[in-house]
């Protein structure tokens, strides 16, 4: 009979590891909220957007260039080339989905954003680049929303914001080892931006409380609950386990007899 080794104990996640994974989920939610607020701001009154579009574009270009310069100076040329392509393709993006209804665009963007959140790699040993399907789904969602804007400058600003949030900032956050510092910056920036954009015409106190509660639940409560529930895990052993090769008992007895 083959000797079956005892199953190895399951690998447990430490509270620190769980909180780091939760902080990455919180960062993804914050980046998505900032992007949606940017769309709300750019889809406002066309006259306001037309007056502020040039300043918005200059600010976005300055932020993205400086951020990439600190991250990797070699990529500054690439982002400038990417921005030039965006300037040229903004009219095409704006007229890309003219025949599609707005409700369909919003539904498709919602589904793609959910796909982005669920397929993002939050593991501790993840590579520096985002998962291709996750990143592509969010970029396509950005293109869909940009097609609803009324000016080429607004389309360019929204696509630049998408590049900053989901490409540049995501990579910088993954490279940094100060997860909690970046998470705090994400929470403060997203909450403040939401208050500035949505709080101009109505009271958003309840929404802010709900948003902070959601981030607390996802970033702290659920990871700690997962660590606590690990004590209830059991190792299943039965005929469905993988066969472990081993030496038969008669063969071992014969070898011991020869030695004696």
Domain that holds residue 41: 15-229
8 falls within a domain: no
195, 230, 252, 234: which is closest to 15 by C-alpha?
230
Containing 162, the helix (H) or strand (E) segment is: helix 152-163
| pLDDT reported for residue 166 | 85
Q: How confident is the model at residue 128 (pLDDT cuts 50, 70, 90)?
A: very low
Q: What is the pLDDT of residue 41?
A: 81
pLDDT score for 77: 65
Question: CA–CA separation, 220 vs 216, rounded Å?
Answer: 5
Q: What is the mean pLDDT of residues 185-193?
A: 84
Sequence-ordered list of residues with C-beta below 8 angstroms from that of 171, at least 6 positions apart, any chain: 71, 128, 129, 130
Q: What is the DSSP letter of 220?
A: I
Q: Is residue 181 part of a domain?
A: yes
The pair of three-digit structure tokens given for residue 141, joined into one six-digit string:
């969602």
Q: The tokens of 58 are what? A: 């200059």
For residue 204, the tally of other CB atoms under 10 A from its CB is: 18
Which of 29-38, 80-89, 150-159, 193-202 comes out lowest in average pLDDT?
A: 80-89
Burial (Cβ within 10 Å: 0-12, 13-18, ≥19) of residue 182: buried
**How far, in Å, CA of 137 to CA of 119, rounded?**
10
Q: Is residue 111 part of a domain?
A: yes
Position 214 in a domain:
yes
What is the per-residue pLDDT for 228?
Answer: 87
Degrees to nearest 5, angle at CA 104 with 42 and 203: 45
Q: Give tens-digit pLDDT for 192-234.
A: 878 877 777 778 888 889 999 999 999 999 999 988 888 776 6
Confidence of residue 248 (pLDDT cuts 50, 70, 90): very low
Q: How much of the chain exceeds pLDDT 90, in percent?
A: 10
Mean pLDDT computed over 121-136: 66
250/246 Cα distance (integer angstroms):
12
pLDDT in tens, 44-90: 765 555 445 556 555 655 665 666 566 565 556 666 776 777 777 77
With a pLDDT cut of 70, the percent of the chain lying above it is 67
CB 1 within 8 A of CB 249: yes
Give the model's pLDDT for residue 150. Answer: 81
As a whole number of Å, the end-to-end CA separation of the chain is: 23
Mean pLDDT computed over every residue of the chain = 75
Calculate mean pLDDT across residues 21-31: 90
Task: Please tell me the predicted confidence (pLDDT) of residue 32.
Answer: 92
Residue 100, domain member (yes or no): yes
**Pairwise CA distance, residues 167 & 85, whole Å:** 16
Q: What is the mean pLDDT of residues 151-176?
A: 80
Work out how many domains the chain is built from and give that number. 1
The mean per-residue pLDDT over the stretch 233-253 comes to: 53
Confidence bin at 111 (pLDDT 50/70/90)? very high
pLDDT at position 259:
53
Q: If pLDDT is split at 50, 70 and 90, which confidence band does 125 have?
A: low
Task: Tell me whether residue 110 is in a domain.
Answer: yes
pTM for the model stands at 0.75
Burial code (b: 16+ CB inside 10 Å, e: under 16) for 32-53 equals bbbbbbbbebbbeeeeebeebb
Please compute, for residue 47, the number of CA atoms within 13 A of its CA located in the half-sphere on the CB side. Answer: 0
Does some domain include residue 251? no
């Amino acid at each position: 009979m083959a000797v079956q080794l005892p199953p190895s104990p399951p690998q447990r996640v430490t509270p620190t590891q769980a909180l780091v994974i939760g902080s990455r989920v919180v960062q993804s939610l914050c980046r998505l909220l900032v992007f949606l607020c940017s769309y709300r701001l750019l889809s406002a009154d066309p006259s306001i957007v037309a007056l502020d579009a040039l300043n918005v574009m200059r600010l976005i270009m300055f932020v993205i260039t400086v951020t990439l310069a600190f991250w990797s100076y070699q990529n500054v040329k690439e982002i400038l080339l990417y921005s030039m392509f965006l300037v040229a393709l903004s009219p095409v993006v704006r007229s890309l989905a003219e025949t599609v209804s707005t409700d369909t665009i919003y539904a498709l963007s919602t589904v793609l954003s959910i796909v982005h959140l669920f397929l993002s790699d939050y593991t501790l040993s993840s590579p520096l680049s985002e998962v291709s399907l996750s990143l592509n789904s969010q970029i396509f969602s950005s293109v869909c929303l940009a097609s609803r804007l009324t000016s080429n400058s607004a389309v360019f600003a929204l696509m630049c914001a998408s590049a900053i949030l989901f490409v540049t900032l995501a990579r910088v956050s993954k490279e940094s080892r100060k997860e909690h510092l970046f998470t705090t910056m994400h929470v403060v920036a997203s909450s403040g931006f939401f208050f500035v954009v949505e709080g101009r015409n109505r009271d958003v106190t309840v929404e802010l409380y709900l948003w902070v509660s959601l981030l607390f639940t996802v970033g702290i409560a659920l990871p700690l609950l997962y660590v606590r529930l690990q004590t209830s895990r059991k190792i299943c052993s039965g005929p469905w386990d993988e066969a472990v090769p081993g030496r038969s008992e008669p063969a071992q007895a014969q070898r011991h007899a020869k030695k004696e």
